[in-house]
Amino acid sequence: MKRLIITGGLALAAVLQAAAAEASATNEFTDTTHYDLNPVVVTGTGVHQRLKATPVPVEVITGREIKSSGINGLQEALTMMVPSLSFSPNAMGSYLRMNGLTNSHVLILLNGRKMTGDISGNVDLGQIDINLIKRIEVLNGAASTLYGSDAVGGVINIITAEPGDESEFTTNSRYTRDGQFNQGLDLSLRAGKVGSMTGYNYSHSDGWQNSHYTDDDGELTETLSQLSLGYTSNNLTQRFTYDPTERLALYAEGSYYNRLLDRPVAREGITGGSKYNTFSESFSWGAGGSYSLGSLGSVKFDYSGRTYGQWYKYMVESGDYLPGDYYKTKRQNYHDAELRGIFNFTENSNSIFGIDYRHETLDRPESDLNKGLGTFSVYGQHEHRLLDHFTVLAGLRYDYHHEIGSRLTPKASLMYNTGNFNVRGTYAMGYRAPGIDELYYHMLKPMGSRHIITFGNRDLKAEDSNYGSINFEYRTSRFTVSLTGYMNFVKNMVTSSSTKFSALSEAEQNALIAEFPEINDIKTSTLTIKEYYNFAKATVKGIEANVSVNPLTGLTLSANYSYAYGRGLNDDGSWQRLNRSVMHTGTLTANYSHDWSFYRLNVNLNGRMQSKTYYPGDADGDAPGYGIWNLTTRHTFSCFKSFTLTPGIGIDNIFDRRDMRPLNSNFALYSPGRSVVASLTVTLK
């Protein structure tokens, strides 16, 4: 690894030395003194419009903000910039929650298309190259009218960059403690009507332990398990665009991604080791186009497909497997085809009509499962501006799901606007069809140092939600303040219970051993039984407050606060907190940028504070709250003829906050502690 970094550095130094000889005094910065507080968004209504004008409030993170903060990875960007989102780690990845609801209630889109490919039920965010992100749009609340199943708690739409008007090559490098290294290479080309965007990202981490111990039935035992597993990943993305006429625009795209988790090798006399690593791999492909109808609107067709698989890669001999052998544990396939029309029948309105078909399959050998399900949908939405101050929006979607049947999901929004002041009210229904795993799983598998028996439930009902919100906003070019109150009522919420094997009766234990004889070969103190069921209902009530201001040229300040109170009602009439929910969260950001001729300084301070994470009924208890602060400085030199050079230096986790509890505890913070971060960006034009 060190050899790779040194070799790359020598090669880069040679390039810089040659290019510096052509230094010119004509390459000056353009004016970028403050952030745009009124960007164009699309996620809330399906139509591109200014954030100030949309009747549905949306949070936006721009690619420029991500770069300025020195953030490494999509998860970190969402954690440090969106308080309504939280992540809690597990052995395979991180568990996403939004406003008290689980990852399965949050729809993640890539350029408006559903992302698939998950690790333990969590979408693998490593499939998205952060260096190609143009902006991230976060929509709170139900949005099934436009997006179908899963859009119950919210929608995260990651929008990536298109090929530019000029050719450009960028390399991004970032290194910090515990072998965390990220290298991105991006190439944008343009030749007349044809454009190309190529991205490659390499990421590596050695992983780390904050505690060397685990709690084994009240006794501290040394373990090899890591709080954050080491990994190596590669991500290659390609997108072509072709504009044969002024009205017609076409595209084709594809990607390849792999990730190898690096587990500690099993050792005699110490727990937490593994006989195998986990290898994940995905391929995606897509094509489509749009045709402009002039002032009437446009018609657009999109097709996307993705296959995502996981394997065990054995490190030591185990049964019939030798070191280097692979064993397939899961493969997911997903196809989505959509035809959408956007029409401007009058000067003050727009209408959307669409049809969509999705099909997904899950092959899980461990559970003897190979099943496919499809969904056919039609939807429509109309937005109209009335009397100069009012905008109304109404929509309806019909879905037919092969397992749960027909669904209708309406939506209605009203916005009152006067000058810089907006008031928005929204009602929306959401729904979520149970996943193939929740319906049909029946297996025992290891999860890090633990083992879990998972039982699906074929009697699960689809989840329904009724979401209402009211938003007050004041927005100018340099100042924005927004306050939103919301309530989300979810019926038949799918959740799971976890019971330790040792807590079962002797008869129940014997029944499980008869069903899963391999229990005799594992340590039963590490064994948990997971069962899916429907809550009678769940409610989430919350408030979100956001303030952004540019008080001085080059200085941007923002503060965001989220309060979410989520509870679920069991069949026995008892209420409990929603699992992994967080009540209070806040983020603060201060960014300063200034230009001096051919040099730009950017300083970014970013902090996140959150209260404890609830794990109701879990013997390991709740995860404590935390506060973490990061400081990044970037220094851009534009005194060269052919390129710009941006080195960066910063400190992650300034106050060295770490969770040092035993490794089978429930965690919210999994930072290794204070870290110095070094980065380098070179852009060739």
Residue with tokens 């209605």: 412
Please tell me the distance from the alpha carbon of residue 199 to that of residue 253, in angstroms, as a whole number.
12
The tally of CA atoms less than 13 A away on the side-chain side of residue 606 is 24
Centre a 10 Å sphere on the Cβ of residue 21 and count the other Cβ atoms it contains. Answer: 8
Position 3 scores a pLDDT of 38
Say if residues 57 and 471 touch (Cβ distance below 8 Å): yes
Cβ pair 306, 333 in contact under 8 A: yes
pLDDT at 90: 58
CB 553 within 8 A of CB 34: yes
CATH number for the domain harbouring residue 265 = 2.40.170.20
Which token pair is 363? 């092959």
Q: Can you give the pLDDT at residue 14? A: 39
pLDDT of residue 117: 83
Cβ pair 313, 340 in contact under 8 A? no
Query: What integer pLDDT is reported at residue 6 of this predicted model?
Result: 37
pLDDT at 18: 39
Question: Closest Cα to residue 422, out of 34, 48, 43, 58?
Answer: 58
Contact 602, 591 (CB under 8 A): yes
CB count in 10 Å sphere of residue 81: 23
- Nearest Cα to Cα of residue 91 among 207, 177, 219, 218: 207
Question: What pLDDT score was predicted for residue 20?
Answer: 39
Confidence at residue 415, expressed as pLDDT on a 0 to 100 scale? 97
CA neighbours within 13 Å on the CB side: how many for 83? 28
Three-state secondary-structure class, residue 258: strand
Determine the Cα–Cα distance for residues 40 and 31; give it in Å rounded to an integer: 19
Task: Give the span between the Cα atoms of 74 and 108, in whole angstroms.
Answer: 12
Cα diameter, the chain: 83
| 641 three-state secondary structure | coil
Model-level pTM?
0.89
Residue 42, phi-psi category: left (phi > 0), alpha (psi -120 to 50), beta (remainder):
alpha
- Spatial distance between the Cα atoms of 669 and 103, rounded to a whole number of angstroms: 18
The four Cα atoms 186, 189, 194, 195 give a dihedral, to 10 degrees, of 30
The count of domains in the chain is 1
Name the β-bridge partners of 496: 532
Burial level of 65, CB count in 10 A (0-12/13-18/19+)? buried
Q: Is 418 exposed, middle or buried (0-12, 13-18, 19+ CB in 10 A)?
A: exposed
- To which H or E segment does residue 490 belong? strand 479-491
Residue type, 491: K
Q: Which domain covers residue 590, as residue numbers?
A: 2-684
* Tokens matching residue 270: 């110490």
| Location of structure tokens 């598998």 | 445
Q: Say how many residues make up the chain.
A: 685
What stretches in the chain show pLDDT beneath 70? 1-36, 88-94, 120-121, 448-449
Cβ pair 658, 673 in contact under 8 A: yes
Whole-number Å distance between alpha carbons of 180 and 204: 6
In the numeric block, which tokens belong to residue 100?
A: 């008290």
CA 28 vs CA 33, 52, 334, 601, 605: distances in Å: 14, 32, 47, 14, 26
C-beta separation of 582 from 611 below 8 A: yes
Distance separating alpha carbons of residues 364 and 594, to the nearest angstrom: 54
Radius of gyration from C-alpha coordinates of the chain: 25
Would the CA dihedral through 475, 480, 485, 486 be positive or negative? Answer: positive
Strands 450-455, 527-534: pairing kind: parallel
- Report in angstroms the alpha-carbon separations of 402 from 359, 375, 428, 439, 681: 10, 6, 24, 13, 49
